[in-house]
């Protein structure tokens, strides 16, 4: 019995938007073949069969679709995928996820996502001016109103979704404006994704400064904690994970906070398998599901090397007083590697500013969580 998270790119990097900071567009340009096509029925079956073989009769599988923009695959393809999974499933626990820009999420698609209990990550960077600065369609037009419409349709159908916000200097300089947008639009779940530069240091829009990002996190945390104390809590994934780690010793579910990589599978449209979304590169191609099963690919030497490298920290990180919570950050954010050793975590300055501030408020946070739990119990009678 095993658990497996499978990230699927059914249309490779194809997208109906051209965001100024897109990391996957940068990744594609580093491959010999940038676009790996569109996933076929044959590849669907090979992928699903291999995933079930990996987890065994009573394991759990989580299939998450990402891009590019995965909804370009079409709803019929999603229906075909889910139908095949349900036919093959025995005693395994299966979940579905979708990360989308929302432009193709109409009422029919929303109903499908609700019916099959997809957890949806919807990319929305905040109010109109913040969102439209970088999140443009292929014709250079802002997408804010269309994405907000998608959020409303998802909510109307009862789809579980969270907002994925890429944090650039625009949000970092105006934390109150960003957070108040979440509250005003009744966003209950969100994730803060700091904007990173491309491979080789290529600038992704306005490069986010560690000092400014640290101040942003402190201010957002203040607003978040105040809402917890007032019984109006918003779930912010990073803070939720930190609270679990610091107060209950719970391991983070967010891989970038785990300190090392796990055996995850990223499967491109042609069936090629990679160890991580940031490393869908020729040198990290583990193989192809048409040629070998996930059991072999995820236990092969290249995968083991990838995981071993993720365990390495810069010397400065190993001596740091916030390492217990920071854990050195995501492997990708320790690039570049020099002579087999990683660089310091790119958000080191931000973490050294924010984490001591977070720790100093743990008593308040613990009390707020207890009060929230008490309110829930009272409302259950």
pLDDT at 203: 54
% pLDDT > 90, the chain: 87
Give the Å distances, CA to CA, from 4 to 31, 120, 215: 26, 18, 36
Any domain includes 331: no
Any domain includes 219: no
Burial class (CB in 10 A: 0-12, 13-18, 19+), 278: buried
Residue 200 pLDDT exceeds 60: no
Total number of domains in the chain: 1
> What CATH number is attached to the domain comprising 77?
3.20.20.70
CA triplet 124, 130, 135: central angle to 5 degrees?
Answer: 55
Q: Which of 277, 282, 296, 363 is catalytic?
A: 277
DSSP H or E run through 193: strand 189-194
Any domain includes 135: no
% pLDDT > 70, the chain: 96
**Residues near 348 by beta carbon (within 8 Å), at least 6 away in sequence:** 210, 316, 317, 320, 329
Any domain includes 67: yes
Any domain includes 120: no
User: pLDDT tens digits, residue range 308-330?
Assistant: 999 999 999 999 999 999 999 99
User: pLDDT tens digits, residue range 152-193?
Assistant: 999 999 999 999 999 999 999 999 999 999 999 999 999 999
Contact present, 273 and 267 (Cβ < 8 Å): yes
Q: How confident is the model at residue 373 (pLDDT cuts 50, 70, 90)?
A: confident
Residue 110 pLDDT exceeds 80: yes
pLDDT at 31: 94
pLDDT at 336: 87
Any domain includes 27: yes
Domain residues for the domain of 54 are 1-100+262-309
**Cα gap 75→17, rounded to integer Å:** 19
User: pLDDT tens digits, residue range 44-55?
Assistant: 999 999 999 999
**Cα gap 317→321, rounded to integer Å:** 9
Give the Å distances, CA to CA, from 334 to 67, 267, 337: 24, 24, 7
**Residues near 318 by beta carbon (within 8 Å), at least 6 away in sequence:** none
pLDDT at 46: 99
User: pLDDT tens digits, residue range 277-301?
Assistant: 999 999 999 999 999 999 999 999 9
Give the Å distances, CA to CA, from 320 to 267, 274, 348, 356: 36, 31, 10, 12
**Beta-carbon neighbour count of residue 282 at 10 Å?**
11
Phi, psi at residue 328, to the nearest 5°?
85, 0
Contact present, 354 and 218 (Cβ < 8 Å): yes
Residue 338 pLDDT exceeds 90: no
Q: How confident is the model at residue 374 (pLDDT cuts 50, 70, 90)?
A: confident
**Cα gap 62→2, rounded to integer Å:** 12
Contact present, 141 and 131 (Cβ < 8 Å): no
Any domain includes 33: yes
**Cα gap 314→331, rounded to integer Å:** 11
Residue 380 pLDDT exceeds 60: no
Any domain includes 245: no
Active site residue 137: no
Residue written as token pair 């009060």: 371
User: pLDDT tens digits, residue range 1-55?
Assistant: 689 999 999 999 999 999 999 989 889 999 999 999 999 999 999 999 999 999 9
């Amino acid at each position: 019995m095993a658990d497996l998270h499978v990230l699927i790119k059914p249309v490779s990097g194809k997208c109906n938007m051209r965001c100024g900071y897109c990391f996957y567009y940068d990744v594609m340009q580093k491959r010999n073949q940038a676009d790996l096509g569109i996933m076929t029925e044959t590849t669907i079956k090979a992928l699903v069969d291999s995933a079930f073989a990996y987890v065994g009769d009573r394991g759990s599988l989580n299939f998450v679709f990402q891009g590019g923009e995965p909804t370009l695959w079409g709803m019929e393809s999603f229906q075909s995928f889910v139908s095949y999974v349900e036919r093959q499933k025995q005693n395994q626990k299966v979940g579905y996820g979708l990360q989308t820009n929302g432009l193709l999420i109409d009422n029919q698609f929303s109903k499908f996502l609700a019916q099959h209990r997809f957890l949806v990550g919807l990319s929305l960077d905040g109010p109109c001016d913040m969102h439209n600065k970088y999140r443009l369609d292929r014709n250079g037009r802002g997408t804010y109103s269309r994405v907000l419409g998608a959020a409303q349709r998802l909510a109307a159908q009862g789809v579980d979704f969270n907002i994925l916000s890429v944090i650039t200097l625009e949000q970092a300089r105006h934390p109150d404006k960003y957070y108040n947008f979440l509250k005003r639009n009744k966003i209950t779940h969100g994730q803060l994704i700091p904007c990173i530069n491309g491979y080789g240091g290529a600038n992704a829009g306005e490069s986010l400064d560690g000092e400014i990002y640290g101040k942003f996190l402190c201010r957002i945390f203040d607003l978040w904690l105040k809402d917890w104390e007032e019984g109006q809590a918003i779930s912010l994934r990073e803070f939720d994970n930190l609270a679990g780690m610091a107060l209950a010793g719970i391991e983070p579910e967010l891989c970038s906070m785990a300190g090392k990589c796990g055996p995850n599978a990223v499967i491109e449209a042609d069936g090629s398998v990679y160890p991580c979304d940031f490393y869908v590169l020729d040198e990290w191609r583990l193989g192809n599901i048409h040629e070998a099963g996930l059991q072999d690919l995820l236990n092969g030497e290249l995968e083991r090397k990838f995981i071993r490298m993720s365990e390495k920290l810069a010397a400065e990180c190993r001596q740091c007083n916030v390492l217990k919570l920071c854990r050195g950050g995501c492997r990708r954010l320790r690039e570049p590697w020099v002579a087999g050793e990683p660089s310091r975590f790119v958000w080191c300055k931000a973490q050294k500013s924010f984490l001591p501030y977070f720790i100093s408020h743990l008593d308040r946070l613990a009390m707020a969580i207890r009060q929230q739990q008490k309110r829930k119990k009272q409302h259950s009678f």
